[in-house]
Amino acid sequence: MQTRNQPQQTVIRQMLLSSSQVPTLPLNVKAPLKWSGGKAALVNDLVLMLPDKIKNTYFPCCGAGSMFFEMKRRDLFSGKAFLTDKNDNLVNFFRVLRDHPWELVSMLDLRHARYGGGGRAIFDLAVDELHSDQSTDLQRAASFWIYNKTASFSAVSKEIRRNAYSDVFATEKDISRQAIRYLLTFGKMLEGTVIENECYTQTFRRALLDGTNSFTFIDPPYFEVGDGLYEPEDKEKPKDGFDFAKFSRACERLLGEHNLMVTLDANESSLEKLNFMKQYRHSVFYRGTKKYEDEQVAINYLPKFWEATTGMLNWEDISPDWAA
Ligand SMILES: C[S@@+](CC[C@H](N)C(=O)[O-])C[C@H]1O[C@@H](n2cnc3c(N)ncnc32)[C@H](O)[C@@H]1O
């Protein structure tokens, strides 16, 4: 329900917001969203494996973008960043966050004031807005963030579903005013980035044209689960399953002048897909299944801190002979 003085309240809120500082992110806050297969827990290690001197940097299949935000926070590239993904709600959220962070925060603050932190009512409103074709991009972005904070971990990167609500995640902590305020910092970090709703193959094409001193980080769907975590569950809808053979060929084409880092699971088939690169195996704890699983990091260059990091990271070098 709209109250009569709501427009006035919005203006006052915006004035108060814009007179305050953009907060500094705590070191453990890596991305504005949680995401299936997200790399937030690994980025502190991954940045140690980066090449020296990065100009432009590409993040196809960017998901919540934790690697981009970590590289930005540490000032690890000097040129432009390209964030791309095939999930259109995600891409709209990042664009609104880049272009209208104050408006987004103000809208979320108002909803927080009206509904409190988590809870079914704020979730239901978010689902309605995400399903409605009358919603503005700003409303969709606010609703997508709320949905992300109140839905279960495995549901956030798929289609919007009313039964995705999770009591565990929909807590005051997940939709705190502080969490809303951190969006201003993430928005600032996105200034000047190119954000596109496109297939990774298009982003690889951009990167190919760029060449020397540019870098691509890609964390595609995992071989074991394929597109399952990112595709609609609707059996009627055709699935455009992730084609790993095509992905492998695309990576091979990108090498040469270009620096590439790929993270993927580490079973026999997925290791074979990247066996033309230097490959490292390590163990990762999955929050979903609460189990440790093997993953690989594949690169085609010598990292800046090579000597220091290889021992320290405790990653097993499983590179084919030529790359050892
Ligand atoms: C493992 S997640 C990336 C997680 C991310 N690294 C993070 O830290 O949050 C994989 C992403 O690939 C995207 N994706 C899947 N197939 C794609 C394709 N063909 N082109 C572009 N993006 C794709 C999904 O939407 C999903 O966001």
Over the stretch 70-94, which tens digit does the pLDDT of each residue have? 999 999 999 999 999 999 999 999 9
Q: Is the CB of 32 under 6 A from ligand 1?
A: no
pLDDT at 324 over 90: no
Q: What is the mean pLDDT of residues 275-289?
A: 86
pLDDT at 110 over 60: yes
SS3 state of residue 277:
coil
The pTM (predicted TM-score) of the whole model is 0.90
Q: Provide the token pair at 324.
A: 């050892």
Q: Is the CB of 118 under 6 A from ligand 1?
A: no
Q: What is the mean pLDDT of residues 17-24?
A: 72
Q: How far is residue 240 from each of residues 206, 226, 233, 235, 270, measured CA to CA in Å?
A: 22, 10, 12, 12, 19
How many CA within 13 A on the CB side of residue 45?
18
Q: What is the mean pLDDT of residues 130-145?
A: 98
pLDDT of residue 305: 76
**Residue ranges of the domains in the chain?**
40-86+198-210+243-263, 108-186
Contact yes or no for 313/303 (Cβ under 8 A): no
Task: Report CA(45)–ligand 1 centroid distance (Å).
Answer: 20
Phi, psi of 283 (to 5 degrees): -105, 135
pLDDT in tens, 235-264: 555 555 899 999 999 999 998 879 999 999
| Residue with CA closest to ligand 1 atom 12 | 61
Q: Is the CB of 64 under 6 A from ligand 1?
A: yes
Query: What percent of the chain lies above the pLDDT cut of 90?
Result: 66
Categorize the per-residue pLDDT at 223 as very low, low, confident or very high, splitting at 50, 70 and 90: confident
pLDDT of residue 225: 65
Q: Residue 101: which H helix or E strand, with range?
A: helix 101-115
